[in-house]
Amino acid sequence: MIKTTSILLITALSILLTLTSCTSKSQGETPKGGSQGGPLTVNGIIVIPQELDNVVRSSGSVLASESVDLVTEAAGRIEKIAFTEGTHVRKNDLLVKINDDDLRAQLKKTELQIQLASDQEKRQKQLYEINGISKEQYDIALNQVNTLKADRENLVSSIRKREIRSPFDGIVGLRYISEGGYVSQTTRIASIQKINPLKVDFSIPEKYADDVRVGDLVQFSSDETHLDFTGKLYAIEPKIDPVTRTLQLRARCDNKNEKIFPGAYVQIELRLKNIQNALMVPSQSIIPVLKGQSLLVKRRGVVVALAVQTGIRTASNVQILSGLNAGDTVLTTGLMQARPGTPVNVIVK
């Protein structure tokens, strides 16, 4: 019994000594790179001014340079369709003819009346010149001629309204009428599009409003055609959209081969004036904070947090507009461990 008790006491004493030794070792160790183990080692870059290729990327939609839906000004029965769907037409080409037999009959009648009234006016004029009639009687005859001529012009205009002609060079689309059908002012006949040149509508953030100018080069591409196009900016909306905070722009480009059509979705690259001496930092070094963004830099051997204002973003870098100086060493790794005032050793890459 005594022997067993002695063995238990010895075993308990051994366990207690082991735990005490482990606790002492644990208290003597410090984290690698911590405040008690030397400076924190991270990667970073030295900020050097450089030229920034100022390209604004956006998306847009292709528009025809001219586009109309063809409708008639006067109701009537279609007598002739003079176009083929999907073909090119020239300005003033006859597209649709609406029956105008009644108007032409009236015009013929008016022409005869004008001829008769003109003869009467000539005789009245001769009589007036020899004081055979009063001036009032001659004025009535002259007025009759002018009235009939006005009626003729009105009839000619009405006949012209029975002809639908192409307003510009373009491509006429699908027709929705047939010969012999009746059309009114609300009947859709067809559409006509001028697709060379084309227009491209797109928008950019309002912060670029002061940098964009008419004549700036615009490049855009279509995923469907896998083709690249180049145009020039020719119109700028003179206001900022209050909802999207963007500026609406419109460019024009050639489409001689007619490889892209109105309504297509395109990717836009608007090339603005290059920026000299821009300060660029990697995107991963930007730290979002409550009221903006900040950077961690090394100054006098320790970490310093700088509030910065960002500008243009590229695929991997961000422009810093204020808060950073050329020559500063910006931390790119260890951002979660580094704190302002922490000693730091930066490996520049």
Provide the CATH number for the domain around residue 308.
Answer: 2.40.420.20
Residue the block writes with tokens 């900022």: 240
**CA gap 201, 64 in Å, rounded:** 11
* Percent of all residues in the chain with a pLDDT value above 70, rounded to a whole number: 89
In a domain, 190, yes or no: no
In a domain, 233, yes or no: yes
In a domain, 323, yes or no: yes
Q: Could you give the C-alpha distances from 43 to 49, 198, 333, in angstroms and in order?
A: 20, 49, 5
Q: Structurally, how many domains does the chain consist of?
A: 3
Band of pLDDT at residue 313, cut at 50, 70 and 90: confident
Put simply, whether the predicted model's pTM sits higher than 0.85 gets the answer no
Does one domain contain both 223 and 256?
yes
pLDDT tens digits along 162-195: 999 999 999 999 999 999 999 999 999 999 999 9
Domain extent, residue 152, equals 74-183
Dihedral Cα 207, 209, 211, 213, nearest 10 deg: 160
Does one domain contain both 78 and 169?
yes
**Long-range contacts of 213-216, Cβ-Cβ distance < 8 Å, separation of 24 or more:** 216/270, 216/271, 216/272
In a domain, 1, yes or no: no
DSSP designation for 133: S
Does one domain contain both 262 and 290?
no
- In this model, does residue 34 exceed pLDDT 70? no
Band of pLDDT at residue 2, cut at 50, 70 and 90: very low
- In this model, does residue 32 exceed pLDDT 90? no
Does one domain contain both 288 and 337?
yes
Buried b (16+ CB within 10 A) or exposed e, 322-345: ebbeeebbbbbbbeeebeeebbbe
**Largest distance between two CA atoms of the chain:** 171
Does one domain contain both 261 and 307?
no
CB 145 within 8 A of CB 112: no
Calculate mean pLDDT across residues 67-72: 95
Does one domain contain both 119 and 162?
yes
Mean pLDDT of the chain: 87
In a domain, 243, yes or no: yes
**CA gap 162, 164 in Å, rounded:** 7
Band of pLDDT at residue 223, cut at 50, 70 and 90: confident
Give the CA angle between residues 82, 85, 87 to the nearest 5°. 90
Provide the residue count of the chain: 349
| Phi (first) and psi of residue 131, to 5 degrees | 65, 30
- In this model, does residue 1 exceed pLDDT 70? no
Considering only residues 106 and 8, tell me which one the structure prediction assigns the higher pLDDT: 106
CB 39 within 8 A of CB 33: yes
Band of pLDDT at residue 226, cut at 50, 70 and 90: confident
Does one domain contain both 61 and 92?
no
Does one domain contain both 87 and 175?
yes
In a domain, 11, yes or no: no
- In this model, does residue 84 exceed pLDDT 90? yes
In a domain, 2, yes or no: no
- In this model, does residue 108 exceed pLDDT 90? yes
Among 183, 215, 235, give the residue marking a domain's end.
183
Does one domain contain both 78 and 156?
yes
**CA gap 339, 40 in Å, rounded:** 10
Residue type, 280: M
Considering only residues 31 and 121, tell me which one the structure prediction assigns the higher pLDDT: 121
Does one domain contain both 280 and 269?
no
pLDDT tens digits along 254-277: 998 888 999 999 999 998 878 889
pLDDT for the residue numbered 37: 58
Question: How buried is 99 (Cβ within 10 angstroms: 0-12 exposed, 13-18 middle, 19+ buried)?
Answer: middle
Calculate mean pLDDT across residues 50-73: 92
Among 214, 240, 274, give the residue marking a domain's end.
274
Does one domain contain both 130 and 177?
yes
Among 150, 183, 216, give the residue marking a domain's end.
183
- In this model, does residue 251 exceed pLDDT 50? yes
**CA gap 49, 21 in Å, rounded:** 56
**CA gap 164, 152 in Å, rounded:** 20
Band of pLDDT at residue 12, cut at 50, 70 and 90: very low
3-state helix, strand and coil shares in percent for the chain, rounded to the nearest 5 = 25, 40, 35
pLDDT for the residue numbered 3: 43
In a domain, 28, yes or no: no
Calculate mean pLDDT across residues 24-32: 36
Band of pLDDT at residue 36, cut at 50, 70 and 90: low
Does one domain contain both 282 and 251?
no
**CA gap 20, 13 in Å, rounded:** 11
Band of pLDDT at residue 38, cut at 50, 70 and 90: confident
Calculate mean pLDDT across residues 298-304: 93
- In this model, does residue 336 exceed pLDDT 80? yes
CB count within 10 Å of CB 293 equals 17
